[in-house]
Structures are given as C-alpha cells and as structure tokens.
Structure 1
Amino acid sequence: MAWRSEFGKVALVAASVVLSIATVVACSRPATRSTADVGGGPLRIAVGIDPAYAPFFVADQEGMFSAAGLDVKLVQFGRGGEAVDALATGQVQVAGSSDTTTISQLRQNPSLRAMYSYEASGSYVKVVLRNGVDSAAGVKKMGIVAGLSQISTDKYLEAHGVPAGSVQMITATPADMPALLARGDIDGYVLWEPWPATALSQGTGHVVAVTGDYNWFYHHWAITTAPWLQANEAAARSIAKVLAEASQRVEADPQLAATATKKAVNVAEDQTITAVNEIDFGIANLTKKDVEAAQSVVDFYKRIGVLSEQPDLASTMLLDMYQEGK
C-alpha cells in the first residue's frame, strides 16, 4: 500500500518525549510470536523513562502486544535523540519520540518516518525557575536539552520579549537540571515531568508556566525507518492498534498507568496520575495542518544551525497511516 506523507497535530514540545542515560535497558516480556522481520529476534521499541510512555508500559505489562501476535521488547533510552539514533543503527525498529526531536534528526537520518501521533499536551512540559527568579526578564542562564526542551525554551523567552541571544544556554541531561538549578548554575529550565516535580520537592525552584500558556504544544510520534516500514506494514499497524487500546486504558484508569509506569521506570505513582491529567493520550493520524506546524520547527532549527537544508517533510510525515477500525 502506498502511503502519503504528512505531520502531527497542533505544535510540538516531548517528551520525549524523552530522558536518562544512553544505555539500553530491556523492560518487557517477549511473547511467543512475531509478525515483524527483525532478524529473528523480538521487535524492539524505544521508549523514554517518564509517564509520557505510559501506554507502552501498560501494553507491555498487560500482555497486549503478545495478544496482537507481536513479540515486543521495550528498550529504554535517556533522551529522545538517542532513541532516534538507535533507529538508524538498527538497535530498535520503532521509537516513541517528540515531533521536535524527530525533526532535528532528519539531516542525519533522512529515512525516518513518522507514522502517527500517540499523545499531545500543552501542560506536561513546564517552565521551572530558580527560587528568587520570578519571570523571564530575570533569566540569565537556562538549562536546555537538545530538541523539545530547547525549542520550548526559545518559545518561552520569545513570548516574554526576551531575545534568546541575551540568555546563556547550558546543555545538560534532564537528570542534571535540578542539581544545576540548586547550585545556581542555571536560572531555570523547560522540561517534562518528573524534573519540574523534582525541583519542587527539593525546594530549589518553582513552576511559572506550562507551554500551553504561551501557545506551544507538543506531540509524541511513533517513528520508524522507511526500509523497515516497507517490509513490516502489518506489524506497524498492529502496534498502532495496541497503543490505541492501551491509551484508552490509560485515560480510563490512571492508577493502572501509574502502577505500570512505576514498575517499568520507577516513577512515583502520583507523578504519573498527574501526567495522565495533563496529557491527551490517543492515536491520531498525521495531517496537513501538522506539516504546516512542522515548518516553524524547521525554521527554528535552520536559524540555530541544526538544519542547513529544508527537509522533505512530505516524505517524512505519513498521512493517514493509521485508521481506526482497520
């Protein structure tokens, strides 16, 4: 079947989605059958280590992949960019990643394909400032993670009239941010949970905004590569159907999501329950409007030198790949 290409929903911020160290940790129980050609082994799906991946954890622990005839192993990565890189090297066949992170990787990995969105939010990614700094005007140094965090920070400063060039950007991992904030090495960061909650619990920072406050939203995409997708269309569609059902379970039963997430990545259950209230989980086809929204992300990356040329969004974003009921 020939698939047309398109892009996610409104605009963009996780995630990665996505957030610890680059070493790979398996966190699923392989089933007995496989519908994917992955060299005889399980179908490996890259995920992050936060509640944004709750549908994957629920599907894994509830045996939903196995019931769909899929031999799946979830593989944890610290950051979304690492998961995207793992696709290119064949370490994984499918990954969950924020739209912004995926776009930033198109220069290195032009064969990336975004199949559908599985979540969106304007509330899950938050702006945290150090105690004593109450607004964007007082910010001198911001901690950033390449991709979702970086562009969300840029949008925050822009919305408050602060030229990005006037603020020093310090790159670190998400896990480093609370310590940098506590030492005063940075004045703030824009990240997904659990890192805002960590600053609050440590008493070193406070949340001043969510990205939706300045009209910035993100999506998480299920992504793969063109060669794998061409050979495994049926498996790709089966994954989508499993995640659609798992997303419904997450929305209907946040405690189920919390239990599964704690077991998978040891996130406190109350953090996941809060996340479920802040994230809209559900499978959605990518649309032409999202291609238009993606262009603003491309423009940002071209401005800061991450992308030197215009990527082929029409080839990367698959239009109507997932259709519920089929």
Structure 2
Amino acid sequence: MSRPHATPRTLRVGYMPLVDCAPLVAAVRLGLDRRHGLQLELLRQGSWAAVRDKLLSGELDAAHALAGMVYGIETGIGGPRGQMAVLMVLNQNGQAIVLAPGPAQALADGAPLREALQVDARAPRLAQTFPTGTHAMWLYYWLAAQGIDPLHQARALTLSPSDMPAALARGEIDGYCAGEPWAAQAEATGAGVRVIRSDRIWPGHPEKVLACRRSFAALEPEVATALAAAVLEACRWLDEDPQHRVQAAYWLAEGMIDLPPGHLAECLLAGGSGLRFHGDGAVNFPWLSDGRWFLHQFRRWGWLSPDAAEDDALLAEVHRIDGYRLAALQAGVPLPRGDSRTSILFDGMRWE
C-alpha cells in the first residue's frame, strides 16, 4: 500500500448523480485517497457529454464514466475523438429499462413489445443517456432481440438521467434506460415501471468505469495506479457489509444526489438489481472481452467499419491492465489468470 505524501496530489474527478458513483464518494469519506497520497476533488457534472468534454480538455483528470462512452470517444463516433484509458470498472449491473404505465401494463399482460409500444402505428420515443453509452446499448440490444429495429423503428433521445422521470411523467417520452436512482424514482412517483433490469439483459455486465485521458495514464502512471488502488479499496468496502452501503447512501444524499438517503439506500441495497462493486476483484478487472462486445455492437449498428483487425491493439491501449494489476497488488485484491471472460446474454448469445 502506498504511503501518504507530505502534500497529497489533488485530482479533479467528475461524477454523475447516480448511486454507482459511490466508490468515489467512499474513497474520499474513508480517507482512502489520502492513504494513497491523493486528494480527490469530486465535481458533479450535468451530462455525460460534459464529462466527455471536460476529460478531453483536461478540466477533469479522471471521471466516473459509462463503459461504452469510452469506446465511443476513442473511435470518434458522433462527437470529438480522443485517446482514452480505462483504469478499472467501478460496478456491474444496477440499471433498468422503464416504460410509461400504459405500455408497461400491456407488456405485463402478455402483449409483445412491438404491440405494447405501438411500433406499427408510430415510432416510440425512448431515451438513453449517451449515444454510445451503456444505456443506449442495453436499450438497443433489448429492442432488437424482440424484433424492433432501434435505429429505424424507434426515436432515440438523449437526456440526462435525472431529467428522465419528469420527461416520462409529462408524456414527452414513452420510456428510457438509466441507472439508479432514476429508474426507482419513476416508480416512486408513478411516472413509469421498470420492465427489465440490465442484469437480466447481460448478467454481470460492466457499467461505469474509472476513465481518464491516455496521456494522463501514460505520463503519470504512479498517480493513476494510486487512484485505482484507492477506489479499489472503496469498492471492496461497499461490498463487505450492507451497512456500508447504507452509510454511502447518507454520504450521497449530502449534496451529491438530490434525493433522500432512504431512497438511495434502497437502490444501493436492492438485491434484485444485482448491483456489485467488487466481487473479490472480478467486478473491477477491465476485461478485454467486454471492450470487444461494445465494439461489436458499434459495428452492428453501422457506426464502425466491419474490419475488426485492429480491435485488440486498440483495446490493449485503452484497458490499462498492467496498471490495474499494480493497483490490485497495492490494495490486496485478487487477480484473475486471464484477461477475457465468457458472458451469456438474455437471448442466449454467448460472448467470449
């Protein structure tokens, strides 16, 4: 474990108001950042586009980021291009697709999704949080598996997650995919119903990552490793005891997320969501196979050329596996033997 420096290195770290930013908050509240010679300044962001832009400009040193967003920035899909790095995965699972009460009830009554959303009469308006982010990928995959072309038979809108429940209540959208607490908020207010959780679409899927510019990871490897080690310890703490998640909910409610702590605790403790932060390190390892899945989906929707010959070289640059291994050693976290894993999605697709 790193020893604290006389003067901690300050890092500006961005986050979105979602319960899966909890590892960053816990790292600061528990003093884990200072134990590793750092002082994390957590900065709330209004949108994932703002996270992207501030990472690229250098206003943020690192950020709580959507896994899919990193590959979108790296490949320049639909926005500015930049060289990115994934230091570690912050969590798995914990997201949901929400529909307005009418379509949700029709689906519960046994109607096919196409009929519930009235696809043949109009294009349903479905929101996600960033065009290449995880929420877009879960939404598109779910629609396509049920015979709905997400690019031509639905209207995809980009909204900040905290704005989604109100937009659904006003009838501006028919549904959305977002992280907690914003799926739970729709149910609490009667605006919508969770119809499928993301851990049913892809059990154990990567969700948020600790991301930074590749130049930061390459030029300051010791700092990047110390950051990952501190956050790894926070992830382990969150999974050690349910009461730790309750404590984290109170910290999140103190200016991080504008909802009561009890509401946030329910989201962090919800056993059905499968939200995991550590899993003896299996959650946090930046699996190369996960990155390949996102690039495969980008090609599926026509955003990348069919040629995947350079994918492994790209992923070796983005996924800072050597740095993660050093951080895991500092934090005393077990390491897997390989750098890829096998996943089975809800439609039976086996991804290796």
Q: 1:44 touches 1:93 (CA, 8 Å); kept in 2?
A: yes
- Are residue 48 (structure 1) and residue 20 (structure 2) matched? no
Q: Look up the SS of the partner of 1:280 in the other structure.
A: coil
Which residue is equivalent to 1:6?
A: none
TM-score by length of 1: 0.79
Identity of aligned residues (%): 19
Contact 1:129 1:205 in 2 (8 A): yes
One-letter amino acid matched to 1:228: F
* Deviation at residue 243 of structure 1 after TM alignment: 1.1
Are 2:227 and 1:239 aligned? Answer: yes
Specify every segment of 5 or more residues in structure 1 that has no aligned partner in the other structure, as ranges. Answer: 1-30, 36-41
Separation (CA, whole Å) in 2 of partners of 1:234 and 1:89: 22
Q: Is the 8 A contact 2:92 2:206 kept in 1?
A: yes
User: CA offset at residue 77 of structure 1?
Assistant: 1.1
Match of 1:194 among 181, 184, 191: 181
Give yes or no for the alignment of 1:313 onto 2:301: no
In structure 1, distance between residues paired with 2:321 and 2:37: 25
1:223 matched to 2:217: no
Residue in 2 aligned with 1:111? 83
Taking a change above 3 Å as real, the CA distance of residues 308 and 178 of structure 1, as seen in their structure-2 partners, is farther
Q: Distance in 2 between matches of 1:249 and 1:271?
A: 21
CA displacement 1:77-97 (0-9 Å, x = unmatched): 123332122111010111121
Shift of 1:309: 8.8
Q: Which has the larger radius of gyration?
A: 2
Q: Equivalent residue for 1:95?
A: 63
Deviation sequence 1:249-298 (CA, Å, 0-9, x none): 22222122112111241433233333334321025332332233232233
CA contact (8 A) 2:181 2:267 kept: no
Structure 2 alignment gaps of length 5 or more: 108-112, 118-123, 331-352
1:76 Cα deviation from its structure 2 partner: 1.3
Q: In structure 2, how many angstroms separate the alpha carbons of the residues matched to 1:268 and 1:307?
A: 46
> What's the counterpart of residue 129 of structure 2?
145
Asked whether the equivalents of residues 43 and 70 of structure 1 are also in contact (C-alpha less than 8 Å), the reply is yes
Q: Answer yes or no: is 1:295 the counterpart of 2:283.
A: no
Partner of 2:31: 63
The alignment of Structure 1 onto Structure 2 pairs a total of residues equal to 286
2:12–2:42 CA contact under 8 A, matched in 1: yes
Which of the pair has the greater relative contact order for Cα pairs under 8 Å at 6+ separation? 1
Contact map agreement 1:128 1:206 (CA 8 A) in 2: yes
Does 2:164 align with 1:177? Answer: yes
- The answer on 1:160 being equivalent to 2:151 is no
Cα RMSD (Å)? 2.4
Task: Tell me the TM-score normalised to structure 2 length.
Answer: 0.74
Match among 86, 95, 100 for residue 125 of structure 1: 95
